[in-house]
Amino acid sequence: MQLPTFGEVFLTTDDVQGGLENLKLFKGKLISSLCGGCRKLFVIEEGLDNQGIISTLHSPEHDEYDQTFSQDSNNLQSFDFKGSIKTIVTGKKHTVFLTDQGDVYSYGYGEYGALGHGGIIELSIPKKIIRISKVDTIACGEYHTLALTNGDLFAWGRGFEGQLGIRKDVETAASPMFLSFFYKNRIKLIACGAYHSLAVDQQGILYGWGEARFGQLGTGRKVSEQLPSRIDFQLEQPMNQSELRVGKFLPQETSFQVISISGGYGHSAAVTSNGELYTWGFNQRGQLGNGDKDKKSSYYPKRLMQDISGIQLPGFSKVMCGYYTTYAIDQKGGLWSWGGGNLGHQNDKLVDLPRKIVLEDRKFTNMYANGQAAAFFASLRTISMKPNHGPSTGGTIISLIGTGFCDTGRQSARFKLGDQYTEVGCEYDSLTDSFRCTTPNFEEHIDKYPVECVVEVTLDGNVYVECEQKFLVYSSKIVISSLYPKCASIQGGTTLIININIDDLTASYMKHLNIGFQPRNKKKEDKSAMKQSTNKPLNPLDLSINDPELDKENWMCVEGFYEKGKISCTIPNVSQLQTDSLNFNVDVSINGQQFTGNPMVFRFYDIQIKELQPDNVMSEGGASVKIIGDGFFDTTNKRVIFKTLFGERLIEIMWDKQDRFYSFVAPPLSWLLGGQQPTPDLLNAVKASGVTALLTLSGIEWIPIGTFYYIDPEVLRLGPFIVDEKLPEEQKKQLIHQEEQEIDPLKDLQGADLQKKKDELQKIFEAEEQEINYFFKKAGQYLSVYGENLANTESLLVQFIFNGNMAVNQKAIFKNKSKLVVQIPELELPTGIHDVGVEITFNGTSFSHSGKVFKYMAFDKSLNEQQKLKLEDEEIKKLKKTQPKKK
């Protein structure tokens, strides 16, 4: 990791039963190093004035020979009098410090020359080692130390096992001595096991020396190597190849560029530049991670291929060995562990295959392990922000989401556009462990939109961490171009399509669109108040379409979806909304928080259909039909649709603004057959089932009007309707108005009986026809009108036609499907007998064309009753003369 940096420190020890503890103390602190050795762990943070502050993570019983632990200071101790500490490494009884200036200090017990100060046996305070300077890296075994300075390697301390690598005859060194083996071969990485040493040269080649009896040098079965020996990586099949569960592993060409090394008590590990991970050495507790059930030592490096689940391992970037444990960081920052000890897996202390330590969203960059514990560092991450886009005018309240956040009092975010940047303060939200800030106005720095802006977070105003997600600044001049439909029912539920001028880049960011519906006040709209739907304190992480914050301006919001220049949403139900207007503003919040401020008008309606006037017409259509109801208004998309068994037909409708009703001209029945040739069967099928009529004001929603019928009234004949004048008036009235059961007089008759009945009926028909044709009817008398499929409708009328083009309509009385009764009205005709036509209608507008007539006797109003009777007798005599003679 790039140090120093902010982040989180995790610790696994016996105290947490091998689990992983997040050390909150270090949140908000600049961490320089995780280090230690043997039984000690340290965290070095950068303090004020560049002082290195040391925190000990081990128990005080492991500090029997030094003073780094102090109960009075909560295990924090300053090293200010020696300079800024870069790292600390410890052996079994000695401690070595490296400062940022490259100086090395040591103290503790000097067995085998471990302190590097010549013959000094014990030091209670750190003392500078004067034989070396400008040191880059140090490493420590139990009793020996390595120091790397500008590619040159030095060693001191115990060398009985060959771990110094100076010469074969050097078993101890009380002062730093140069390893001439690497003369002209510069070293870039070093590491120490308990009694062995590892180094990598500038070409990435790995060397090992020292104790080798467990195979920890990877050079074969040997007791030790007194001088550095190259460690070769053999191309071998992984162990337990048959247990692999995912895919098929094939040997790959191995890279010898080693980028990370580490040594434990008796085992070693290395990572190559292509992410391959190798282990070798002692395996008694599964620390090699190769799954060998017999726990045999490995004397050569073997690549690890599978995890504990049998899944192929990812590429790795770093490895660290504890005494009997191994830890690794993969190329994505994931943390892995295996072996015997505290592994970060609660209560699971023996794992012989790599197992990932699952910590959500953490990316680990550094770690250090000793004999009993391990510490891990996950760098501060700003993973994402919500929302991650906003208008150029700023004012977007965003939540920065990541790991390692805390309230330092100095946290802030800066928005960078090229060389320009603007910094804003951040508030820490402890509930969501996130930062919240308000975006600045970008219009001073940007000419063209949209543009992606880099966001950086700092906890101290000095060290910044770039967010892994860009913030998109889009134009504040984005507007809605059109809505479809422009109106909908207050019940909602239909889809609204919003056309909007958005570029592809802005569109790619739109994941959480809010569509706002706001009742329009009768007062003039204040558009400036619509730019921002919410005010502080608002947490964007908590903002939803139902958030009460949006109620501040009476917005009702629904979720929207964008695709190819169009936003779609489901129109909300506003039937319970208390408002005096059904006209609404509709606006889009591209980032789920701020509206464009340029809304379009949308109309809700509450349509109540009362009736169709009329609800039936004749087959030829052409009649004007009114739709009567409440809540009507004019729209460009108003239509009526007629649906039949054979298809549907759209019909244009008209709006009567004065009387507030819709009207349309009924189409011919033949138009409703779906293009089929009209036949009697098809026409009768539609007549029988009726036509489903629906109204739309939007072109999308359809409101049921009712069933519309095509009925062709037909008069077959006319006949008298005689009422006994002697009956009481009530009884006569009842007899006239009550319906009659339709009976088939020929039913169940056969042979002679059938013929006899037919003859009787024929005589009755002839008698009635005789009376109609050769006798007259007067006003006030009743007339029977016989037809087929007669309908009892509200507009059932009989029309009396006289003088060619004059007519009087009279309400008809429905008796049954083949008979009507009507009272003959007073007709304005001169005295005498006149032929009067009779037609019927079911809708009050379309009449039959039967041509049936009867003789009507008209009287001058000046005539008295005696004169009328005399005139009737004269007319009857004349009519009798015209009757045909009986044969």
Model confidence over 99-129: pLDDT tens digits? 989 999 999 999 999 999 998 999 999 999 9
Asked if pLDDT for residue 650 goes beyond 90, the answer is yes
Q: Name the band, by pLDDT with cuts 50, 70 and 90, for residue 592.
A: confident
Asked if pLDDT for residue 439 goes beyond 60, the answer is yes
> What is the reported pLDDT for 61?
61
CA geometry: angle 406, 410, 414, nearest 5 deg: 95
Span 484-509, mean pLDDT? 93
Tokens of 71: 């109960």
Tokens of 646: 């054979």
Span 291-319, mean pLDDT? 95
| Tokens 């190559």 found at | 272
Asked if pLDDT for residue 359 goes beyond 70, the answer is yes
Asked if pLDDT for residue 57 goes beyond 80, the answer is yes
For the ranges 601-605, 844-848, 855-859, which has the lowest average pLDDT?
844-848
For 874, what's the count of Cα atoms within 13 Å in the CB-facing half-sphere?
Answer: 10
**Averaging pLDDT over each range in 49-53, 215-219, 343-347, 673-677, which range is the top one?**
215-219
Q: Quick check: 653 and 703 in contact, CB under 8 A?
A: no
Q: Name the band, by pLDDT with cuts 50, 70 and 90, for residue 886.
A: low
Measured in whole angstroms, how far is the alpha carbon of residue 239 from the centre of its chain?
A: 45
User: How does DSSP classify residue 56?
Assistant: E
For the ranges 250-254, 289-293, 828-832, which has the lowest average pLDDT?
250-254
Task: Name residue 108's beta-bridge partners.
Answer: 94, 123
> What percentage of the chain reaches a pLDDT higher than 90?
63
Asked if pLDDT for residue 245 goes beyond 60, the answer is no
Whole-angstrom Cα distance, residue 857 to residue 771?
13
Q: Name the band, by pLDDT with cuts 50, 70 and 90, for residue 83.
A: low
Whole-angstrom Cα distance, residue 571 to residue 582?
14
Q: Name the band, by pLDDT with cuts 50, 70 and 90, for residue 795.
A: confident
> What is the reported pLDDT for 239?
43
Kind and range of the H or E run holding 759: helix 751-774
Asked if pLDDT for residue 362 goes beyond 50, the answer is yes
Q: Which of 535, 529, 545, 524 is nearest to 598 (CA)?
A: 529
Whole-angstrom Cα distance, residue 44 to residue 624?
92
- Counting every residue, how long is the chain? 887
> What is the reported pLDDT for 213?
96
Asked if pLDDT for residue 48 goes beyond 80, the answer is no
Span 310-320, mean pLDDT? 97
Q: What is the pTM of this model?
A: 0.73
For the ranges 125-139, 224-238, 288-302, 435-449, which has the lowest average pLDDT?
224-238
Q: What are phi and psi of 146, to 5 degrees?
A: -115, 145
Residue type, 716: L
Residue type, 520: R
| Tokens 């029977």 found at | 784
Between 753 and 242, the higher pLDDT residue: 753
Whole-angstrom Cα distance, residue 325 to residue 18?
12
Whole-angstrom Cα distance, residue 855 to residue 838?
11
Kind and range of the H or E run holding 464: strand 464-466
For the ranges 253-267, 540-554, 736-750, 791-805, which has the lowest average pLDDT?
540-554
Q: Name the band, by pLDDT with cuts 50, 70 and 90, for residue 3.
A: low
The three state secondary structure string of 164-230 is CCCCCCCCEEEEEEECHHHCCCCEEEEEECCCEEEEEECCCCEEEEEECCCCCCCCCCCCEEEEEEE
Asked if pLDDT for residue 248 goes beyond 60, the answer is no
> What is the reported pLDDT for 445?
83
> What is the reported pLDDT for 579?
82
| Tokens 């208008």 found at | 391
Asked if pLDDT for residue 179 goes beyond 90, the answer is yes
> What is the reported pLDDT for 887?
53
> What is the reported pLDDT for 150?
95
For the ranges 327-341, 376-390, 539-553, 640-654, which has the lowest average pLDDT?
539-553
Angstrom distances, CA of residue 793 to CA of 615, 691, 812? 9, 16, 10
> What is the reported pLDDT for 875?
85
User: How does DSSP classify residue 768?
Assistant: H
For the ranges 52-61, 296-305, 764-773, 779-788, which has the lowest average pLDDT?
52-61
| Tokens 């009857």 found at | 876
> What is the reported pLDDT for 550?
46
Asked if pLDDT for residue 456 goes beyond 90, the answer is yes
> What is the reported pLDDT for 419?
87
Whole-angstrom Cα distance, residue 100 to residue 85?
6
Q: Name the band, by pLDDT with cuts 50, 70 and 90, for residue 250.
A: very low
> What is the reported pLDDT for 388?
94
Tens-digit pLDDT profile for residues 678-712: 899 999 999 889 999 999 999 999 999 999 999 88
Tens-digit pLDDT profile for residues 596-644: 988 999 999 999 999 998 888 888 888 899 999 999 999 999 999 999 9
> What is the reported pLDDT for 371?
87
Q: Quick check: 111 and 159 in contact, CB under 8 A?
A: no
Span 177-201, mean pLDDT? 96
> What is the reported pLDDT for 578?
82
Tokens of 724: 């006994």
- DSSP labels for 785-834? EEESS----TB-EEEEEETTTEEEEEE-EEEETTEEEEEPPP----SEEE
Q: Which of 402, 287, 385 is nearest to 336 (CA)?
A: 287
Look over the chain and give the mean of its residue pLDDT values, rounded to a whole number.
88
> What is the reported pLDDT for 530?
45
